[in-house]
Structure 1
Amino acid sequence: MSRKQTPMSRPEADSEGQLLGVRQAALGAAAGLAGMAVMVPILGVAWLVGAFELSAVAGLASIVGLGDSFLLGAIIFVGGGMTTIPLLFASLAVFMPGESMGAKGAVFNAIVWTGFAVAFWSEQTGVTLALYLLLTLAAHVGYGYVLGTVYGRYATIPVYDV
């Protein structure tokens, strides 16, 4: 049987006998990196207008016991955007609404944004809070759209009978 090149298909083992393997993970990482290229500038704008605190990113390094380092926090943030989120998307994309993989990615990451909005909130209020919510949502939707589009173009999302 040949492997279908549609965005979502019934699972078939690849040439190495894996349903989700190294190739799919590498494509997910590349798609996540492309998504981060969209997300980071929007978060930069949020920072420039005072709606996003870089200390929230530095806090990621502190959570894992590496001190309060923005550089290490940024590495963890980008690393998560290249590993955890793409793997979750590959697992859950079939359940997301939307006609295109880009739309599915945007919906998926809008859901992820709800956790981000709480975790990275640094006591903004009023207009600053509104800008924080709007710009971080835009960053997540942009990331998700790119993640879904790139991943859907180069990889297949398996559809399992449940």
Structure 2
Amino acid sequence: MASDNAGHDDAAMDDPSVEESYPTPEANELERALGGIAGGIVGTMLMIGVLFIVNATLTPGIDVFGTLAELAGVGNTPAIGLALFLGAGTFAWPLLFVTLGAYLPGATRPQQGIVFAAILWTGFITAFYSHYAGFDLAVFVVFSVVTHLAYGWVLGFVSARLTGQYEAPEIAV
């Protein structure tokens, strides 16, 4: 019967410095997906919190969730818009980031998350800007870019912490 330590020196196995020389295993696809979803949950909760605070204090005229539902063709129903926002922020965008994020510029996953979120923001602002004017539009633009960049950083950071892959992966082309 073969030993689990076949081909290894028992003394070397007891030496902690030798253990450090072995590479850490790569996260598999499921771990990366779950890490991305966890990052998406945290980032989406952050965005929702900021949106509620901004809406309650600065601009009651901004109804992002109602507008999202309207754009989706289900009427101005904030609850449905919130559900769509949660679904995209916790599943769709994180899984897209996990799949394509490695191809984005940035030395770390949080940096790549910021780039990813900046790209998402361009679509978000294009879809929503025509629904606001004046002060509401200015507040919307500022807070939407800030929350998107924060979302991207959190998405990259949390997924990196949970998978142990903080540095951006090298892509073999």
Q: TM-score range by the shorter chain?
A: 0.7 to 0.9
Letter in 2 for 1:152: A
Which structure is larger by alpha-carbon Rg, 1 or 2?
A: 2
Partner of 2:13: none
Q: Does residue 161 in structure 1 map to residue 172 in structure 2?
A: yes
Relative to the length of structure 2, the TM-score reads 0.71
Letter in 2 for 1:132: F
Structure 1 runs (4+) greater than 6 angstroms displaced = none
> What per-residue deviation string (whole Å, max 9, x for no partner) do you get for residues 84-111 of structure 1?
1101111222222223221221121011
Cα distance in 1, alignment partners of residues 132 and 74 from structure 2:
24
Q: How does 1:1-150 map to 2 (within 5 A)?
A: 3-4=25-26, 14=28, 20-21=29-30, 23-47=31-55, 48-50=57-59, 53-54=62-63, 56-64=64-72, 66-121=74-129, 122-125=131-134, 127-150=135-158
RMSD value, Cα: 2.5
Q: Paired residues, what number? A: 146
Relative to the length of structure 1, the TM-score reads 0.75
Find the residue that maps to 2:59 and give its secondary structure.
coil
- Please report how far the alpha carbon of residue 128 of structure 1 lies from its aligned counterpart in structure 2 after TM superposition: 3.0
Letter in 2 for 1:25: A
Structure (1/2) with the larger helix percentage: 2
- Contact 1:40/1:139 (<8 A) preserved: no
Cα distance in 1, alignment partners of residues 67 and 162 from structure 2:
34
Cα distance in 2, alignment partners of residues 123 and 62 from structure 1:
14
Find the residue that maps to 1:72 and give its secondary structure.
helix
